[in-house]
Structure 1
Amino acid sequence: MNTIDIIVFFIYIGGIALFGGSFFKKNKTSSSYTLGNKDIPSWVVTMSIFATFVSSISYLALPGNAFQSNWNALVFSLSLPIATLIAVKYFVPLYRKINSPSAYTFMEQRFGAWARIYVSLCYLLTQLMRIGTILYLLALTLNAITGWDITTVIVFTGLIVAVYSMLGGITAVLWTDAIQGIILIIGAFVCIGFIFYNLPEGPSQIFNIAAENDKFSLGSFDLDFSKPTFWVVLIYGVFINLQNYGIDQNYVQRYMVLKSDKEAQRSALIGGLIYLPISALFLFIGTSLFAYYNSVEVLPEALQDISKADRVFPHFIVNALPPGLTGLMIASIFAAGMSTISTSFNSSATVFLTDYYNKYFKQDASDKKRMQVLYISSFIISIIGIAIAIAMINVKSALDAWWKLSSIFSGGMLGLFLLGIFSKTKNVTGAIIGMITGILIILWLTFSEVIFGPDSIGASFHTYLTIVFGTIAIFLVGFLVSSLMKSKT
């Protein structure tokens, strides 16, 4: 990076921090900190929903996938219309009716306090791992591009995001998310425009080279459930995206900040659907890079290993783009990461206040005390997230195991919510039995190959299907047990 790139990058970082912190005066109460003042434009919420979905991982991984293989990853995005329509029809009106800052209040209403504690604890665990993972990968990328120290980048990024998200509350998070979403889209278009301009035969060369190498394939259409075929990725996408847009506090909190149900539903729908064309744009960058490095330049020998495809886009940013544009693209990568991290800070603090402090510590606390809890919990969450990211530098294997464990338990969240919404009986025993069954199935599918060998039944299913089978098991077993117990009664 030269001086111009560094200036562009730090102007962006400083501008976002100052802009986010400028909303400090609007956070007079805990309600305004967690839900705003009902004065945030719907387009800001829409862009914030989109930006929350796009992390720096997807910003770099999608081009890497397309460069390495094909457009199979787009199938995941094709499931978004199905998932968002279900979320908009059933989940958004439900949360608006309950009118709680936390998505998990509904669980206690349906199945009791245990369900609320279970899903909120799973959420907090996964968010801590998410913050740590994104901070670590963001620092790893910046280290590869600039040579800056990984630990320094982790601490710097984590503290910058923590400060403006704490000062500005949900209002700062939404507005900065919206700006960051716009920046990362501009960055993607700038990158493609530069490749178009530098190809000897123009844009058509991309399509010719891609067609020759089957780069636009969406994957196999065979009914093989052991591989990431079109159907496996599509089914997986429906369940994961329904979990994101239906029960994730990061999104539910955004549904609550708008004035009307119609605005909330529209923002949820459009915010989800925007990702479909933008993910195609990211994949097209990867395909364009494949054409670029097969016609304009040759990749260094160190990057020609197909397993290092994720490093091609950062290499292109540093070595091919002119000064200024490199700084803009690095700011785009940071924008994707910062928007996701700031959301996790604010939403996790909201869950701690609503689902734990207000319920079990001090129900009649003053609003001043609640604001203190929000500030302190946000700070502690940021510190833990930074610590996890730093730990990943040396003990990534142990943290991978923690991530897998938290994913196992969070896999039961969607099934429990679906049971609560679509089952008419309020049978706690049925819900508990269903949840235990689902977790056992998730455990079996996760560790089947390790325990029973590669020829076992569990090992014959692709890992994408783990959450699918777990969710279905929780819903069906919970529904059947509840129905049978009701009939017997």
Structure 2
Amino acid sequence: MQTIDWIVLSCTLLFIVLYGTIKTKRSKNVNEYILANKETPGWAVALSVMATQASAITFLSIPGQAYHDGMSFIQFYFGLPLAMIVICIFFIPRYYKYNVFTAYEFLERRFDVRIRSLAAVLFLIQRGIVIGLTIYAPAIILSTLLGWDLKTLIIIIGVSVLVYTVTGGSKAIILTQKQQVFVILTGLILTFFIIINSFPDDLSLVDALGIAAANDKMKIVDFSFDPTVRYTFWNGIAGGFFLMLAYFGTDQTQVGRYITAKSVSESQKGLIINGLLKVPMQFFILLTGVLVFVFFQFHSAPLHFNPTNTNAVHASIYHKEYQTVERELHEVLEDKKEVSMLYTGQLYQDYNNPILQEKMVSLSSKERELREQAKEIILKANPKAEVNDKDYVFIYFIVNYLPKGLIGLLLAVILCAAMAASASELNALAATTAIDLYKRNLKTEKTEKHYLKATRIFTVLWGAVAILTACVVNLFENLIQLVNIVGSVFYGTVLGIFLVAIFVKSVQANAVFWAALLTQLSIFYLYYLDLMSFLWLNFIGASFVVLFSYIIQKALLLKGIKRAS
């Protein structure tokens, strides 16, 4: 990184922290701290919702996911627009009717305090795990590639978020997320056009997409019914719908964003805008990853993108074996470059050459084999190494190929995304702990000032948990998948409770409580068996709660009738 990159990065982050702190000053009461006095317009709600979901993991993992597996991940979001509509019709009016601080407060109005506490605890467990990943994701990758100390970077990110989140609460989060979204979109758009301008002179965007398609990177929809296939149209529509319904409809991280709106209509407007923009935004990020793949067809790419693993293997007794594979990859990439150029020339003449396409596919297959060999050698050098390097692809491209100044901006994008998501998560965790557990279970009345102070204290405590978790967590699999897996294991149960609360009026608290416990244990077991894509766990979890609660309610009624007779 050059001096200009440090200036861009430092000034961007410093501005956001100071802006959020100074503009919001100190909140006067819990309503202002958690709900921002319900003064947020719909467009600001939309930006806040998008910034909350678009964590650093999104910008690190999704381009790497597209680099390796193509556009198929977009199917994960197919259920999102429909989920937004359902939430706008059935969830938002109820949250505003009962004037809730958290989503789980509504459950006590419908059932009892046990159900409220159970849902709140499941949320705290799930989100408490994820918030550590939200900070850890950018920290581990930036520290690896830039040589920064990992724990120092984690502390810097965590403390930066805490400064304005503790001070200003929801109002500070919403204000800073506006700036963060601007930085994120600016950085992504500039990167997209710089990649295109970095292609060979005769290579147009259409030609680049042709090369990507020839390498099987442009397959957007898969209609396979195989439940073990992770991303298909069907699990995107069904499993993705239930995951998005749970995340946006019942997760306080998101509910806490849109219940700050001025009215039901403004809240609904914010979610509808999000529903319309989210899929195109994710498509654009994935497409950027695909273009990075095309870029590396004409530029040098490492055998393995994680430099920690590369340095370790070069320092081991296996370095000669690894170097041999590196030389083989270099030859394959040179052949791919030549074939890609020839293939591009054919496309330019509106002629799709199947022989060249077959040759390109064959070389890509050989490349994958060599990269797998590299992973095996890395594991011989260090059996505990994480060899999945998808999350390092995009940041490697940023650091090594973007012009001066833009590197700092893109690093700011990643850190802004981490801060935006972490701030919302901290606020949601603190609000749920303070309102659903602490305030609800206190036996004596306390002042408004007391609960405001308690919420701030819980924000600091959860910030400490996030930083400590990030310091000890280990990277495994692709981060974007890991976050969604953790969510899917818990979301179905919580969503099922809400679906019963809204749609099944005959079922009462006792039945739902035991149904939820039985369902959560069942989901743990199903995930352990690994019989299906994790997306189906959301649908199964929600369905189990509805089914089990209905059956248990009927059994309880029959038991009551027998006793009465």
Could you tell me the TM-score, scaled by structure 1's length? 0.92
Q: Relative to 1, partners in 2 of residues 1:336 and 1:213: Cα closer, same or farther, differing over 3 Å?
A: same
Q: Is the 8 A contact 1:125 1:406 kept in 2?
A: no
1:356 is displaced (CA, Å) by 1.9
- Structure 2 residue runs of 5 or longer lacking an equivalent are 306-366, 373-387
Structure 1 match to 2:310 = none
Q: Distance in 2 between matches of 1:69 and 1:406?
A: 22
Q: Is the 8 A contact 1:245 1:252 kept in 2?
A: yes
Q: Distance in 2 between matches of 1:401 and 1:136?
A: 12
Q: Distance in 2 between matches of 1:176 and 1:311?
A: 27
| Partner of residue 278 from structure 2, selected from 275, 278, 297 | 275
- Aligned residue for 2:505, secondary structure, equals coil
Structure 2 match to 1:323 = 404
Q: Distance in 2 between matches of 1:369 and 1:271?
A: 35
- Aligned residue for 2:533, secondary structure, equals coil
Identity of aligned residues (%): 29
Q: Distance in 1 between matches of 2:18 and 2:461?
A: 22
Structure 2 match to 1:236 = 239
Structure 1 match to 2:428 = 347
Q: Relative to 1, partners in 2 of residues 1:482 and 1:409: Cα closer, same or farther, differing over 3 Å?
A: same
| Partner of residue 214 from structure 1, selected from 199, 216, 220 | 216
Q: Relative to 1, partners in 2 of residues 1:266 and 1:232: Cα closer, same or farther, differing over 3 Å?
A: same
1:379-394 aligned at under 5 Å gives the runs 379-392=460-473
1:444 is displaced (CA, Å) by 2.5
Q: Relative to 1, partners in 2 of residues 1:251 and 1:192: Cα closer, same or farther, differing over 3 Å?
A: same
Letter in 2 for 1:389: A
1:255 is displaced (CA, Å) by 2.4
Structure 1 match to 2:260 = 257
Q: Relative to 1, partners in 2 of residues 1:405 and 1:256: Cα closer, same or farther, differing over 3 Å?
A: closer
Structure 2 match to 1:104 = 104
Q: Is the 8 A contact 2:39 2:261 kept in 1?
A: yes
1:8 is displaced (CA, Å) by 0.6
Q: Distance in 2 between matches of 1:49 and 1:113?
A: 28
Q: Deviations over 1:377-422 (max 9, x none)?
A: 11111011101111125999xxx99998896455411111111110
Matched, 1:481 2:552: yes
Q: Is the 8 A contact 2:493 2:545 kept in 1?
A: yes
- Aligned residue for 1:227, secondary structure, equals coil
Q: Is the 8 A contact 1:192 1:285 kept in 2?
A: yes
Q: Distance in 1 between matches of 2:520 and 2:544?
A: 9
1:266 is displaced (CA, Å) by 0.7
- Aligned residue for 1:73, secondary structure, equals helix
- Structure 1 residue runs of 5 or longer lacking an equivalent are 449-458
Letter in 1 for 2:410: M
Q: Distance in 1 between matches of 2:192 and 2:287?
A: 8
Structure 1 match to 2:199 = 199
Q: Distance in 2 between matches of 1:40 and 1:106?
A: 21
Q: Relative to 1, partners in 2 of residues 1:469 and 1:144: Cα closer, same or farther, differing over 3 Å?
A: same
Letter in 1 for 2:225: L
Letter in 1 for 2:35: L
Q: Distance in 1 between matches of 2:433 and 2:508?
A: 27
Q: Which moved more, 1:479-488 or 1:345-354?
A: 479-488
When Rg is computed on C-alpha atoms for both structures, the one with the higher figure is: 2
Q: Is the 8 A contact 1:70 1:219 kept in 2?
A: no
Q: Distance in 2 between matches of 1:240 and 1:208?
A: 33
Q: Deviations over 1:13-32 (max 9, x none)?
A: 11011011013435111111
Q: Relative to 1, partners in 2 of residues 1:331 and 1:284: Cα closer, same or farther, differing over 3 Å?
A: same
Q: Is the 8 A contact 2:126 2:490 kept in 1?
A: no
Matched, 1:92 2:173: no
Matched, 1:463 2:534: yes
Q: Relative to 1, partners in 2 of residues 1:247 and 1:59: Cα closer, same or farther, differing over 3 Å?
A: same
| Partner of residue 543 from structure 2, selected from 453, 463, 472 | 472
Q: Distance in 1 between matches of 2:179 and 2:110?
A: 38
Q: Is the 8 A contact 2:492 2:540 kept in 1?
A: no
- Aligned residue for 1:302, secondary structure, equals coil
Structure 1 match to 2:6 = 6
Aligned residue pair count: 475
| Partner of residue 227 from structure 1, selected from 207, 229, 239 | 229
Q: Is the 8 A contact 1:185 1:278 kept in 2?
A: no
1:35 is displaced (CA, Å) by 0.7
Q: Distance in 1 between matches of 2:221 and 2:418?
A: 28
Structure 2 match to 1:451 = none
| Partner of residue 374 from structure 1, selected from 455, 462, 477 | 455
- Aligned residue for 2:72, secondary structure, equals coil
Q: Deviations over 1:355-379 (max 9, x none)?
A: 1222112552112211211111111
Q: Distance in 2 between matches of 1:38 and 1:430?
A: 35
Q: Relative to 1, partners in 2 of residues 1:82 and 1:332: Cα closer, same or farther, differing over 3 Å?
A: same
Structure 1 match to 2:250 = 247
Letter in 2 for 1:482: Q
Q: Is the 8 A contact 1:84 1:269 kept in 2?
A: yes
Q: Is the 8 A contact 1:110 1:426 kept in 2?
A: no
1:234 is displaced (CA, Å) by 3.0
Q: Is the 8 A contact 2:243 2:492 kept in 1?
A: no
Letter in 1 for 2:19: F
- Aligned residue for 2:81, secondary structure, equals helix
- Aligned residue for 1:168, secondary structure, equals helix
Q: Relative to 1, partners in 2 of residues 1:404 and 1:40: Cα closer, same or farther, differing over 3 Å?
A: closer
Q: Distance in 2 between matches of 1:344 and 1:32?
A: 17
Letter in 2 for 1:366: T
